[in-house]
Amino acid sequence: MTQELWELLGKGILETLYMVLVSSAVAYVIGIPLGVLVFVTDTGGICRNRAVNFIFGGIINLVRSVPFLILLVAILPFTRLVVGTTIGSTATIVPLVAAAAPYVARMVESSLKEVDHGVVEAAQAMGSSNFQIIYKVLLPEAKPSLVVGATISLATILGYSAMAGFVGGGGLGAIATNYGYYRYDSETMLITVLLLVLIVQLFQEVGLRLVNHIDKRIK
Helix, strand and coil content of the chain, in percent to the nearest 5, comes to 80, 0, 20
CATH code at position 169: 1.10.3720.10
Q: What would the pLDDT profile of 52-61 be if each residue is shown by its tens digit? A: 999 999 999 9
Count: domains in the chain: 1
Q: How far is CA 2 from the centre of its chain?
A: 34
Query: What contacts 197, CB < 8 A, 6 or more positions away?
Result: none
Alpha-carbon span 42 to 57, nearest angstrom? 9
Is 68 part of a structural domain of the chain?
A: yes
Q: What would the pLDDT profile of 34-91 be if each residue is shown by its tens digit? A: 999 999 999 888 889 999 999 999 999 999 999 998 999 899 999 999 988 888 888 8
Is 150 part of a structural domain of the chain?
A: yes
Region 165-181: mean pLDDT is 80
Domain interval for residue 141: 3-214
Alpha-carbon span 69 to 160, nearest angstrom? 8
Is 182 part of a structural domain of the chain?
A: yes
Is 36 part of a structural domain of the chain?
A: yes
pLDDT bracket for residue 218 (50, 70, 90): low
8 A C-beta contact, residue 31 and residue 213: no
Is 219 part of a structural domain of the chain?
A: no
How many C-beta atoms surround the C-beta of residue 59 within 10 A? 14
8 A C-beta contact, residue 17 and residue 203: no
